[in-house]
Structure 1
Amino acid sequence: MTRIGILSFAHMHAAAYAHCLKQLANVEFVGIADEDASRGQAAATQFGTRFYPSYEALLAAGVDGVIVTSENAKHLPLVRMAAAAGADVLCEKPIATNMADGREIIRLCREAGVKLMIAFPVRYSPSVIALKKAVDSGQLGQIYAVKATNRGHMPGGWFTDLKLAGGGAVIDHTVHVMDLVNWFWHAPVRRVYAEVGQDLLWKEGCDDAGIITFELANGIFGTLDTSWSRPRTFPIWGDVTMDIVAQGGLVQMSVFEQTVQAYSDREGAVSWTGWGSDPDLGLIKDFVDVVSSDREPPITGEDGLYALEVALAAYAAAASGRVVELPLE
């Protein structure tokens, strides 16, 4: 049995990951540690596991790996504790709120000899995997451009606190798509320009919408709509889409459109029936396998830095009104 714990239930993804852990027969869900005792105890009760009043107590209980789902700015201290305890780490995205913290997270894990994996569950969507195979096969021919979106609900809470989150919608949603760009083409981003809107939709004191343009070192040009533009009544969380314009034609991919839609005046509402895979489960199963088989993580700390740097470059470009060259430092 692989012993896994969760450090912090601050992030909304923590519940999904906990649910996944409970589904895996080869996992012992050791417990949940949270500095917010009421939140942590409630989560532990919900998922039938033990609550630990401190992160140190959970790590001392003997875990093979941990999932870090704290506020973004708190990733570094929690990873530091986990690495010192010899536990492999699955760190929620973004890896950090700045490049220095991200690099330090990578250094700590490398020097401690523990595995570091970044939580990008979108990689585990069947539609994404199919698109990756098409890109890798060369059947699309030369790739000219990419148009992508990641538009979701406004999460509220600490996600709108710039100190804890590192930004708003741009840092929250840019990283998902840019990780796919990195995974598909393994090409550095050379230039970024962005227009970022603050308080356009939600009046929360942070950015809630952005349009990013980017150019890769291999010549591919891309645009990304990254926003919290879905109303709270929207029937699903949001979207992750990617259109690829290539020599062989146009390919369109949508992660979440595995639905049947029914429109009825009698019901007075739209009915959406969904089916398909659970990318979160794919992510957690892969992390558990990384821990138990001692193989290298498929999504590395460097992958996390790649995606973070584009988000930070977008903020810099929007603030200056100019194209930003990468690398930033």
Structure 2
Amino acid sequence: MRLGLIGLGRIGSFHAETLSALPAVGSLVVTDAVPAVAERVAGRLAAAGAGNIEVAGSVPALLASGLDGVVIAAATDAHPELIVAAVEAGLPVFCEKPVARGAAEGVAVLRRVEGSGTEIQIGYPRRFDAAFVAARAAVASGELGWLHTVRSTTLDPAPPPPEYVAVSGGIFRDCSVHDFDTVRWVTGREVVEVYATGSNRGAESFREAGDVDTASAVLTLDDGTLAVVSNSRYNPRGYDVRLELHGSRDSIAAGLDDRLPLRSVEPGATFPAGTPWQFFIDRLGPAFRAELTAFTEVVAGERPSPCTVADALEAGWIAEACALSLAERRPVRIAEVRTV
């Protein structure tokens, strides 16, 4: 198949490498807001042996180049316009999260594309991580009994640049939203109420952007299960992504491997023994490949989207509720922020 890729920043360049190596992808057309970037990425892929890499001078040119599907990895603010443009061109779309910078814009996208018959997949790679998939299966099988506690963790090794923080929408919309999606997807339950808090002990850029560098949230699910979400931009030991599920019959965890970026001080302990994960692309590399492979199956008509715009909006409502909870220092019901 012939796919297009819009946006060749950090994640876009990584997707270009992944897509060009997938057996289902016969050719890849790339474009970026900075033409020199597109030429550089295409040249690097070609030098590495990737065939059939083309460069389009603009998004309209890319959309008109005879594609079977489109991958969007551009800046968040461009997502709504690009999703709609691809759908109007009749092309299945993969778009990195979020759908839009805020929930209102996300709802507008949903209303523009619903009923189009065109598949849209939003990027949440933990849905494709082997351990997270196994955790979901364990919940669905009933082997854990009824859940009482879920703990989801995302700790970044270093803060993003101030320019990114200023347009990120805040830690709940940018970082925690992965945990929110995971909690919903793994448990199969909906969040009904949140209480969130946060602090700033690092760079002043977070405070200047009205954001926090460390946050925690307690989510109450519709069956009474409690989920605790922990996030920080400061975990110098590495990139820490974990999930714990505690039930009436058993407890399990995803992310407890020898590259866990956590140091035990138990006498004689040797776990974890490996080199800590340092970057999200390393930690979730196989998941990203599985996610994009799934998109090629969506393009081929072999499966429906595994993460729709509506799915992504559900995680977005939780982020909106947490942002309000942090600002007003009170519990917030999801119904207070939901507009659809």
TM-score (norm 1): 0.87
Indicate yes or no: 2:43 matched with 1:34: no
Cα pair 1:174 1:307 within 8 Å, conserved: no
Secondary structure of 2:312's counterpart equals helix
Distance, in Å, in 1 between the alignment partners of 2:41 and 2:183 is 34
The residue identity in structure 1 corresponding to 2:307 is I
Higher-strand-fraction structure: 1
Which residue of 2 is the match for residue 18 of structure 1? 16
The C-alpha deviation readout for 1:57-115, integer Å capped at 9, x for no partner, is 10010211111111212210111211111111111012222122212222333343211
Show structure 1 runs of 5+ residues with no match: 264-269
- Counterpart pick for 1:182 among 165, 181, 184: 184
The residue identity in structure 2 corresponding to 1:254 is G
Equivalent positions of 1:30-109 (< 5 A) are: 30-48=28-46, 49-109=53-113
Indicate yes or no: 2:310 matched with 1:305: no
Distance, in Å, in 2 between the alignment partners of 1:318 and 1:260 is 29
Distance, in Å, in 2 between the alignment partners of 1:92 and 1:225 is 22
The residue identity in structure 2 corresponding to 1:250 is S
CA spacing shift, 1:159–1:258, aligned 2, 3 Å: farther
The C-alpha deviation readout for 1:225-261, integer Å capped at 9, x for no partner, is 1221223xx4x5x121111221013222217x35399
Which residue of 2 is the match for residue 138 of structure 1? 142
The residue identity in structure 1 corresponding to 2:114 is R
Which residue of 2 is the match for residue 266 of structure 1? none
The residue identity in structure 2 corresponding to 1:209 is T
Length, aligned pairs only = 311
Structure 1 residue 292 displacement after superposition: 0.8
Distance, in Å, in 2 between the alignment partners of 1:252 and 1:295 is 29
Which residue of 2 is the match for residue 166 of structure 1? 169
- Counterpart pick for 2:193 among 191, 194, 212: 191
TM-score (norm 2): 0.84
Secondary structure of 2:292's counterpart equals helix
CA spacing shift, 1:7–1:209, aligned 2, 3 Å: same
Distance, in Å, in 2 between the alignment partners of 1:248 and 1:320 is 38
- Counterpart pick for 2:215 among 199, 210, 213: 210
How large is the RMSD of aligned CA atoms in angstroms? 2.4
CA spacing shift, 1:154–1:210, aligned 2, 3 Å: same
Which residue of 1 is the match for residue 129 of structure 2? 125
Structure 1 residue 127 displacement after superposition: 0.9
Distance, in Å, in 2 between the alignment partners of 1:13 and 1:28 is 21
Distance, in Å, in 2 between the alignment partners of 1:166 and 1:23 is 33
The C-alpha deviation readout for 1:148-181, integer Å capped at 9, x for no partner, is 111113232642123xx222x3222212111121
Distance, in Å, in 2 between the alignment partners of 1:93 and 1:320 is 26
Stretches (4+) displaced over 6 A: 273-277
The residue identity in structure 1 corresponding to 2:176 is T
- Counterpart pick for 2:333 among 304, 311, 325: 325
Cα pair 1:109 1:115 within 8 Å, conserved: no
Cα pair 1:72 1:166 within 8 Å, conserved: no
Indicate yes or no: 2:248 matched with 1:244: no
Cα pair 2:244 2:252 within 8 Å, conserved: yes
Cα pair 2:189 2:222 within 8 Å, conserved: yes
CA spacing shift, 1:150–1:88, aligned 2, 3 Å: same
Percent identity, aligned pairs only, is 25
Which residue of 2 is the match for residue 3 of structure 1? 2
The residue identity in structure 2 corresponding to 1:316 is L
Secondary structure of 2:213's counterpart equals strand
CA spacing shift, 1:201–1:21, aligned 2, 3 Å: same
